[in-house]
Amino acid sequence: MISKKHVILIGMMGTGKTTVGQVLAKKTSLPWKDTDKEIEQVIGMTIAQYFSKFGEKEFRKLETEKLRELLSKSPAIITTGGGVVLKEENRKLLSQNGFVIQLKAQPEVIIKRIQQAKEMRPLLVGNIQEKVYTIMRARKGLYDFADWTIDTTELSVDQVVEHIIHLLNKRGLI
């Protein structure tokens, strides 16, 4: 069992954090917590609705608050929104409180994966292709503070989960 720390998944939208996190939680018997989902419960609307009503800056405040709250609780698999790494404060909080795993993928694969749920992602309104490349460029290096990085481009969800479990086992964390 993981003693003190959380296992935290970070990465661009469409890298599979949420799906991987849910399966990983089941397999490790740890609770699964997702910052976006938790925020939606508090605000009573979707993140997309909140963005259009109050803007990104207000959302980022809620995101940091929620992150602090989840990190202060008992060990969990925590999945985060892709933009959580934008604030240095968040990056510090994450690396101090958990084993941070970065999921990444080639932009073409990300674009394919998010085509279906694009209306859920306020930052991708318009030309998705262009937006994904622009966001990836703007965030270059910001995910690299992670303890581990897994390229999910050619992996299934189960393969990513197995990989993480192997890493956690090897480090004696589960």
Q: Which is nearer to ligand S3P, 52 or 169 (CB)?
A: 52
CA distances from 110 to 64, 82, 94, 114 (A): 25, 12, 23, 6
Least distance from ligand S3P to the Cβ atom of residue 98, Å: 17
The CB-of-16 to ligand S3P minimum distance in angstroms stands at: 10
Residues 43-102 within binding reach of ligand S3P (CB under 6 A): 47, 81-83
- Residue 140 burial by Cβ neighbours in a 10 Å radius (0-12, 13-18, 19+): exposed
Residue 132 interacting with ligand S3P (CB under 6 A): no
Residue 83 or 98 having the CB closest to ligand S3P: 83
Q: Name the segment binding ligand S3P (CB under 6 A); options: 1-9, 64-72, 121-129, 144-152.
A: 121-129
Strands (E), the chain: 6-10, 32-34, 77-79, 98-104, 148-151
Return the number of other C-beta atoms located less than 10 Å from residue 16's C-beta.
Answer: 24
The yes or no reply on residue 122 touching ligand S3P (CB under 6 A) is yes
- Cβ-closest residue to ligand S3P? 81
Closest to ligand S3P by CB, 81 vs 98, is 81
Shortest CB 170 distance to ligand S3P, Å: 27
CB-wise, 142 or 174, nearer to ligand S3P? 142
> Across the beta sheet with 98-104, what order do the strands follow?
32-34, 77-79, 6-10, 98-104, 148-151
Q: Is 36 in the site for ligand S3P (CB under 6 A)?
A: yes
Which residue in 37, 39, 32 sits closest to 9, CA to CA? 32
**Rounded-to-integer distance, Cα 113 and Cα 10, Å:** 16
What backbone torsions phi and psi does residue 158 show, to the nearest 5 degrees? -60, -35
Footprint of ligand S3P on this chain (CB under 6 A)? 13, 17-18, 36, 47, 81-83, 121-123
